[in-house]
Amino acid sequence: MKKVGVIAEYNPFHNGHIYHLNKVKEMFPDSYLILVLIGNFTQRGEISIINKWNKTKIALEYGYDLVVELPFSFATQSASFYAKGAIEILDNLNCDYLVFGSESNDVKTFEELINTTINNKEYDLLVKRFIKKGNSYPLSCSMALNELTGKLINKPNDVLALEYIRNIRVRNSNIKPISIKRTTDYHDKEIDKRVASATSIRRNLNNVEKIKMVMPKISIDFIQKIDQEKYFELIKYQIISSYDLNCYLDVDEGIENKLKKTINEVNNLNDLILRVKSKRYSYSKIQRMLLHIVCKFKKSDNDLKLKYIRVLGLNDNGAKIIREVKKNINIPIITKYKKEYDDLFKIDKKANFIYSLLTDYDMASEFKSCIKK
């Protein structure tokens, strides 16, 4: 049977995700479904409103055979490194297809654009030129592509799709990318139909009647409160007390000085980010940076090597996948926590400890076996 991969945050799991998953099942009715799940913190540096174990329960309930976790060191980085980790996991699991949502829904164009960027000195020079003008790296890449091809890739899921395909190509992987047309705008803020963006749902959590329209009950039941005030206090303490903020991932180009100067002039996280953001440093990048500071995720920790695959949940089909893959894989596939894995898990343990301070997350769950359905 073929293995079909999906990469998702499910923050939270909603009707749009059900639509996407049903489409996958229609396209591949007799296949194993594998989910690379982003855990307790998201790619934009946000705190997940459903913890990773409960997201795993939802995923298994809706038909996934195997759920594995994208480690924190990949999950909370820019699109290129986020995609690198996820594709490497799926490739190690011998996945045949990757199905993702995208705004333009044009895999052929994505593949042509990737051909333009790989080993292209003109593209590399253009990226550097746009960065020197004060633009962020992702925007500079988009502008360089636009100048060379006339095509503008600036929608969030199109950007991710491009990076998925780039990493498939770089790894010389046999994974075949397949796109499903995204039905909502990621940046939508209001709920006005049966399918809404995760952003709009998070903004309307206090309106139970509205979110009932766009989320299954199991997902609503797992939503937890996040102590944003405590999170800001942790950020504030770490910024004020740290002698060298520059050692943490994403803290570059003297922005630590701006953080030190601004932290005592604001009263909440949003104001801090808005005061620090610039043309070069987007809201999301600063949000990730602050998360890395709080979790003490250092540049020296960021070797971008996939050292293990952690299984969060599986059914009998998922167990078959693991037994097959274990025969030829060079990194451990972990279904049950053991003391010997402490060093492998050290970055994720620090991050999930912070998560436990901000939610009702039980840190003891970090040391349990995977969920079996």
Half-sphere exposure of 335 (CA within 13 A, CB side): 12
Q: Reduce the DSSP state of residue 372 to 3 states and report it.
A: strand
- Give the contacts of 16 (CB within 8 A, at least 6 positions apart): 101, 183, 184, 195, 196, 197, 198, 214
pTM: 0.94
pLDDT value at residue 188: 59
Beta bridge partners of 31: 2
Question: Per residue in 157-180, pLDDT tens?
Answer: 999 999 999 999 999 999 999 999
Q: Give, as one character, the DSSP assignment of residue 306.
A: -
Compute the distance between CA of residue 42 and CA of residue 40 in angstroms, rounded to an integer.
Answer: 7
Place of tokens 């100067």: 261
Question: Per-residue pLDDT tens for 59-112?
Answer: 999 999 999 999 999 999 999 999 999 999 999 999 999 999 999 988 999 999
Q: Which amino acid is at 75?
A: A
Looking at residue 360, its pLDDT comes to: 95
Task: Note the helical H segments in 150-268.
Answer: 156-170, 198-203, 208-214, 217-222, 228-241, 255-262
Q: How far apart are the first and last CA of the chain?
A: 20
Residue 177's pLDDT is what? 97
* 90 contacts 171 by C-beta, under 8 angstroms: no
Q: Which two tokens stand for residue 61?
A: 């309930």
Structure tokens at 308: 């293990």
Domain locations in the chain? 2-104+161-167+176-225+305-372, 114-153, 228-301
Measured distance CA(284)–CA(273) in Å, rounded: 9
Could you tell me where the DSSP H helices lie in 28-120?
A: 52-61, 72-75, 79-92, 107-117
Question: What is the C-alpha to C-alpha distance for residues 247 and 84, in angstroms, rounded to an integer?
Answer: 23
Class of the 2-104+161-167+176-225+305-372 domain? alpha beta
In terms of Cβ atoms closer than 10 Å to its own Cβ (0-12, 13-18, 19+), residue 247 is: middle
pLDDT at position 184, please? 62
pLDDT at residue 191, rounded to an integer:
65
How many angstroms separate the CA atoms of 12 and 261, rounded? 35
Q: Which residue type does 31 have?
A: S
Q: List, in order, residues 6 or more apart from 44 with CB less than 8 Å away.
A: 284, 287, 288
CA-to-CA dists, residue 252 to 203, 249, 284, angstroms: 31, 8, 15
Low-confidence stretches of the chain (pLDDT beneath 70): 183-193
Q: Residue 220's beta-bridge partner residues?
A: none
Q: Is the dihedral of CA 303, 155, 128, 249 positive or negative?
A: negative
